[in-house]
Amino acid sequence: MKRILLALAAILIAAGAAFYFMRDQIGLAIFQRATHAAVTSDLAPELPDGLTAAFCGTGSPLPYRNSAGPCTAVVAGGKLFVFDVGDGAPETLALMGLQPARIEAVFLTHFHSDHIDGLGNLAVQRWATGASTAPIPLYGGEGVERIANGLREAYALDTGHRIAHHGPEVVPPGGEGYAAHPFVMPEGQESAVVYDKDGVRITAFSVNHGPVRPAFGYRVDYKNRSIVISGDTATSPNLVRVAQNADLLIHEALAPNLVGIMGSEAESQNLNGVAHIFHDIPDYHTSPSDAASEAQQAHVGALALTHLIPPIPVSVIEGPFLGDARNRYDGPLWIMRDGDIIILPAGGGIERRHVLR
């Protein structure tokens, strides 16, 4: 027995020594493997035909390390449609295996800074990794052309540097930045189809985020499946109308009770400006309970909460965040995290997965 133990100890010591002396080679091998996985990762072909919602940013302007600013992507027919691009969202998309070269178009719900902070970076990623020869189509309400033109100007020096360094074959001149597609609602209408190609139909609809105007949500239809993205909005009868019988409603959520605590805390520290903001924001967002009521009225198949205000760092806060939301809606209700996807296969069904690498 003693001899066996001694032999075992000798083997362990030898293995430890081998690991110690070979640690650089082991590190390099791990790095090589991770690099291979990162370079070849492409989630879209792994998904079934149908619609997939990808949560590339479930955060808000409140700082939180674990979530990017607002961003929801939809994969349809192998193409990527991105709705809002908050700070950190391009990195999260990459870590989910969603390649910028697959981006067909970006859609903005409105022009609050947290919804556009990642736009410049996303365009550079697509241009540099996909050798794109045309800018990304950027859809939004009136004013979106100012954002596209402003970004182009802000990145003009960078564009020149990269073309000079890598050459026009790698980073084709004219392929950088965004091309604006502004739209307005036709007189007397509160929704309009803004994209319709290869079976993917995207409808913009007015929401209630005043004084922010224009402010839109979007409905995506493809192969008999449908996803509705609320954008930023207080409760909105128009959203309930457009979302009727959708398979998935992705809704923003602000918990007034928790934001109230934050406001009181700011007030007690004499941070009056901050306290004022916390007091102002609940009136143009939707509480989880009200989002659940709207999901029920619209008879949607599932409700996914995003744009979480405040962030939820530990699961024990989920209950206070949701309030009585679960009593108001019969279907599946999920609080989303960055890196989650919800798959709606063309044939039916729904599945939630986490794909952040």
Query: If binding is defined by CB under 5 A, does position 290 make contact with Zn ion?
Result: no
Query: If binding is defined by CB under 5 A, does position 112 make contact with Zn ion?
Result: yes
Point out the catalytic residue in the list 84, 87, 114, 232.
114
* Alpha helices (H) in the chain, listed in sequence order: 2-21, 23-40, 89-95, 119-130, 144-154, 156-166, 237-242, 256-268, 272-280, 288-298, 318-322, 325-328
Quick check: helix, strand or coil at residue 59? coil
Binding range to Zn ion, per CB under 5 A, among 110-118, 256-264, 274-282, 335-343: 110-118
Binding range to Zn ion, per CB under 5 A, among 218-226, 227-235, 274-282, 316-324: 227-235
Q: Which is nearer to Zn ion, 84 or 221 (CB)?
A: 84
Number of residues that bind Zn ion (CB under 5 A): 2
The reply to whether 24 belongs to the active site is no
The answer to whether 129 touches 99, Cβ cutoff 8 Å, is: yes
Q: Which is nearer to Zn ion, 102 or 110 (CB)?
A: 110
Binding range to Zn ion, per CB under 5 A, among 123-131, 151-159, 225-233, 327-335: 225-233
Quick check: helix, strand or coil at residue 343? strand
Smallest gap from residue 68 Cβ to Zn ion (A):
12
CA distance 107 to 135: 14
The answer to whether 329 touches 303, Cβ cutoff 8 Å, is: yes
Smallest gap from residue 215 Cβ to Zn ion (A):
7
Q: What is the dihedral of CA 127, 129, 130, 135, to 10 degrees?
A: -10
Q: Which is nearer to Zn ion, 132 or 287 (CB)?
A: 287
CA distance 57 to 85: 8
Q: Which is nearer to Zn ion, 200 or 249 (CB)?
A: 249
Q: Which is nearer to Zn ion, 112 or 162 (CB)?
A: 112
Binding range to Zn ion, per CB under 5 A, among 109-117, 148-156, 176-184, 275-283: 109-117
CA distance 310 to 227: 24
Quick check: helix, strand or coil at residue 209? coil
Smallest gap from residue 186 Cβ to Zn ion (A):
24
Quickly count: other Cβ atoms within 10 Å of residue 26's Cβ: 11
Q: Select from 84, 176, 232, 340 the one that contacts Zn ion (CB under 5 A).
A: 232
Catalytic residues: 114
What residues line the site for Zn ion (CB under 5 A)?
112, 232
